Amino acid sequence: MAIHEALQQGPDAEVILAHVLKNDRAWLFANPDFELSRLQLTTYNLLLARRAKHWPVAYLTGHKEFYGLEFRVTPDVLIPRPETEMLVELARERIENRELRIKKIIDLGTGGGAIIISLAKSLRNSKLKFSATDISPKALQNAKQNARRHGVEKRIKFIKSDLLRNLKFDIRNSLLVSNLPYLTPAQVKANPDLKHEPRSALVAGPDGLKYYRKLFEQLSKFYIQNSIFLLEHDPSQKNKLAALVKKSLPNSRTKFHRDFSGRWRICEIYSNRVQ
């Protein structure tokens, strides 16, 4: 089979073929008559068959681009999505605008580390301290590998923790970013492309807010003066999440941001003190 024949099978096939041939997609289009070897064709067809069974392309190739960086991904971690780049962008804006004189950035439920690594890579302020937590040792191992790949392993402290539970330091003047699981079982069941991603990184109880409730409960044990929270959520959860924030942090200021598709996606909270 020649490259031009394979390219007729769609954009996912292009990514898989580039992976098999260890070249980028531009090279594929520049060499349409290149003939695949028997081994390359066998590998390509095997991966294409797995994609037909709803295996995510990122798991098939072992990497995913996020915020202009390549990240190693495995079936142990959630695949970073384009809409999550908003968390990075908003966090950068708050830091660069010197809002509340933030001194620490903490990523809760870091997974493969895409958010915290993108921030450590793009924010060069040497006085900023970066931390990331996850309850999964395999996820933390993946995140540490990605941090080494991008040369920021010495800037980020990775902590095995159920959200904030094992944090031993003060989180005043902190910016907390989090893309916790927020889907319902029904949402995951309705989307076959999600069935191969770790369920624990997707599902958060009947209304998808189980882990955000846990987070706010844990915050009652911390002094969080001058802190900013950026939380990714499902668009349908906006009103419930707003009510949860009002109940847990009644003196805080809350703002919601739409994603690139115009859907409510990020909850931003300014908190001066714990109630």
Q: What is the pLDDT of residue 273?
A: 52
- Listing DSSP states for 65-123 in one string gives EETTEEEE--TTSPPP-GGGHHHHHHHHHHHHTTGGG--EEEEES-TTSHHHHHHHHH-
Q: What is the pLDDT of residue 275?
A: 39
Q: What is the pLDDT of residue 251?
A: 84
Nearest 5°: phi and psi at 240? -65, -40
* Spacing of C-alpha 253 from chain mean position: 25
Measure the CA–CA gap between 64 and 79, rounded to whole angstroms: 7
Q: What is the pLDDT of residue 274?
A: 41
How would you write the pLDDT of the chain (275 residues) with one tens digit per residue?
A: 888 888 888 889 999 999 999 998 889 989 889 999 999 999 999 999 999 999 999 999 999 999 999 999 999 999 999 999 999 999 999 998 887 789 999 999 999 999 999 999 999 877 899 999 999 999 999 999 999 999 999 999 999 999 999 998 888 899 999 999 999 999 999 999 899 999 999 999 999 999 999 999 998 888 888 899 999 999 999 999 999 999 998 889 999 999 999 999 999 999 865 43
Three-state DSSP class for residue 197: coil
Name which of 58, 16, 64 is nearest 41 in CA terms.
16
Judge contact between 4 and 13, C-beta under 8 A.
no
Q: What is the pLDDT of residue 199?
A: 93
Q: What is the pLDDT of residue 224?
A: 82
Judge contact between 94 and 102, C-beta under 8 A.
yes
* In the chain, domain spans: 3-53, 77-271
Measure the CA–CA gap between 230 and 94, rounded to whole angstroms: 10
Q: Where are the extended beta strands (E) located within 29-75?
A: 63-66, 69-72
> In the block, which residue shows the tokens 């390509």?
44
Name which of 149, 146, 148, 89 is nearest 123 in CA terms.
89
Name which of 154, 75, 72, 151 is nearest 113 in CA terms.
72
pTM to 2 decimals? 0.92
Sign of CA dihedral 124, 117, 104, 84: positive
Nearest 5°: phi and psi at 125? -60, 115
CATH fold of 77-271 reads Rossmann fold (3.40.50)
